[in-house]
Amino acid sequence: MDSGSDQQPLELIVGEAEDGARLDVLLAGLAAVGSRAAAQKLIAGGLALVDGEPRAKNFRVRRGQRLAVSVPPPPVSDLVPEPMTFDIPYEDPYLLVVDKPAGIVTHPAKGHDSGTLVHGLLAHQIAGGANPHRPGIVHRLDKETSGLLIVAKDEETHRLLVGMMAAHEVNRTYLALVHGLFETREGTVEAPVARDSRVRQRMAVSRGGREAVTHFRVLKSWTGRPRGAAGTPGAAGAHGGGFSLLEVQLETGRTHQIRVHLAAIGHPVAGDRVYGQRRDTLAVGRQFLHSARLNFHHPRTDEMVTVESPLPDDLRQVLDQLG
């Protein structure tokens, strides 16, 4: 496909390789557009024309047709950098990997106008993506989940990382302590996840949800009561009392996916008062969930990047308590 100009609006001639492609898919591949969602928004707003005519997102383009795409300039961010210190185990001119502490929200949202991870990383020139309040953010961790996150520093790197996430090309490994014991050492949960129809702040397994796949492996199990809790009965799970430390790998990345999937099979994450037991038996103080390892081919250099994060002290102390 040939581009008439690098300036806006873009004028493109459909080439042989693009003949028969969906309009939204074709536009999503343009660096100036960056995603299928952004392409569909342009189409719905009448900003993408085929031979001078608006077309539906599923319109199949043909070789020789002329596309005119008016891409609005990216919104200007009003975020102000805030002095924060984070452990950044990997950084280069294109991206960084940050080790997020528990208790920090990933990006600004309702009720969190300051003090987020994004505010603390603005000094690292993070950038990319259509949302000016989420510059560089490719994936996120819940407020009380600790561990590793990839953040982009430019539009092209962000676009490539989003595509890698969608294609399951970023290996994400978590550590989770859950209630109950397992009959097998490994397992997979395949269950679609959607927003809970009754409590909108929660997610739930739902037939109408998006595909979600979680793999897990049991690293260690404890059958007795934690030390210093002789008068406290063991937490009950679907497979009796006790606790299990899991290595969890995400194949997809839905909101609260690990917590929802493990709760759905009767093994809620320890300390998770949203999807688990209201009583925090081990006094974890938060859900015992940590993003421990990232492994991916660098989107710009193709080098293999592997970053690991040890369990933070609060979670390590919980395991010491179990013995």
Q: How far is CA 91 from the centre of its chain?
A: 19
Sorted by sequence, the CB contacts under 8 Å of residue 230 that are 6+ apart come out as none
Q: Which residue, 142, 101, 146, 149, is CA-closest to 126?
A: 149
Catalytic residue status for 92: no
For residues 288 and 76, give the distance between their C-alpha atoms in angstroms, rounded to a whole number.
Answer: 37
Name the one residue in this structure whose structure tokens are 């452990």.
87
For residues 161 and 146, give the distance between their C-alpha atoms in angstroms, rounded to a whole number.
Answer: 21
For residue 212, what are its two tokens?
């979600």
Question: Which one of 142, 196, 280, 320 is the catalytic residue?
Answer: 142
CA 86, 90, 93, 94: dihedral to nearest 10 degrees? -100
Q: Are strands 203-205 and 304-308 parallel, antiparallel or unpaired?
A: unpaired
Residues labelled catalytic? 142
